[in-house]
Amino acid sequence: MTERDGIGRSSLAEEGAASWEAIADGWAERMRTDTDFSRKLVLDAPHLALLGDVAGKHVLDAGCGEGRFARMLADRGARVTAIDLSRRMIELGRESESADTPTIEFHEMNMCDLSAFGDESFDVVVAYLTIIDVEDYESAFAQISRVLRPGGQFLFSIVHPCFYPPGAEWEPRKPGTFPILDKDKRYLKVDNYFPARELRFRMWPTAPAETINFHRPLSDYARVCRQNGFLIREMAEPVPSDEVLARRDDLRAHLRAPYFLIFDCAKAAA
């Protein structure tokens, strides 16, 4: 357990929020160049496929970062409300929009407190690799369920907890080396899957602050979905396409142990 402040945020959640603030500019730079391969080469396509036609739908992007996916949804005709805990991320999101024709409503907001939105006000909620950043994920699920209309879609993606809990790493074929190419990876070492716990790491070697993620076993996600009326329709374990794999040998590891997991849920009718 961590200490909680007067508004219910733990010191760990505060630390996590501060770290996103610190890395926001560097993060945006990486998102807007070709540095972030996971999203472009692995995750965007299955997210978009599972969402289907979003034209005309009111979509909440919960934990939007600097807004890249919110923009992709707006480009496809969705009415997008995008929220993030980090003030700087929201500024970057707003700056990325045309001043004359802003199409996305950006708000600095914690997804654990969506009281600014009425009940059942969204058709779709997306949390693209963000639930792993939220310590109090139970409040986030409860709030997302409240603001989603019955029958609405909740799509969220996480780092696969079965294969990449904190400490998981590829055993190198050559002892003492760090395997990047697939041929240099012998097998994935996974241990201590069950205990929910934090993971601290630098998003990139020179990132100005550590990022904090929260690992929890798969059964925690199934439970919190059930408790909040979410029916899991599909669980996708996306892999890079053959065309991507022909260029990126390091991504072949996704075929041996999936790095990501996407939950496609529907909010049950009352």
Ligand X SMILES: C[S@@+](CC[C@H](N)C(=O)[O-])C[C@H]1O[C@@H](n2cnc3c(N)ncnc32)[C@H](O)[C@@H]1O
List of residues contacting ligand X (CB under 6 A): 20, 31, 39, 63-65, 68-69, 83-86, 89, 110-112, 128-130, 133-134
Between vectors from CA 44 to CA 41 and to CA 49, what angle results, nearest 5°?
Answer: 125
> Cβ of residue 173: shortest distance to ligand X, in angstroms?
31
Decide: residue 205, CB within 10 A, 0-12 exposed, 13-18 middle, 19+ buried.
exposed
**Minimum CB distance to ligand X smaller for 54 or for 64:** 64
Q: How far is the CB of 234 from ligand X (least distance, A)?
A: 20
Identity of the residue, 78 or 134, whose beta carbon is nearer to ligand X in the bound complex: 134
DSSP secondary structure code for residue 201 in this structure: E
Nearer to ligand X, 41 or 83 (CB): 83
Closest CB 225 distance from ligand X, rounded Å: 18
* C-beta of 193 vs 201, nearer to ligand X: 201
Minimal distance in Å, beta carbon 19 to ligand X?
9
- Name the residue nearer to ligand X (CB basis): 185 or 261: 261
Task: Indicate the residue among 87 and 256 with the shorter CB distance to ligand X.
Answer: 87
The two structure tokens encoding residue 63: 């934990």
Shortest distance (Å) from residue 105 CB to ligand X: 15
CA 146/CA 141 separation, integer angstroms = 9
CB 120 to ligand X: min, Å = 20
**Contact partners, residue 99, CB within 8 Å, separation at least 6:** none
Q: Does the CA dihedral 115-119-120-121 come out positive or negative?
A: negative
Strand 58-62: give its sheet, edge to edge: 104-108, 79-84, 58-62, 122-127, 148-159, 260-267, 230-236
DSSP, collapsed to helix, strand or coil, labels residue 257 as coil
Minimal distance, residue 91 CB to ligand X, in Å: 12
User: Given phi > 0 = left and psi -120 to 50 = alpha, else beta, which region is 89?
Assistant: alpha
Considering the complex, state which of residue 112 and residue 185 has its C-beta at the smaller distance from ligand X.
112
Contact 124, 234 (CB under 8 A): no
- Residue with smallest beta-carbon separation from ligand X: 65
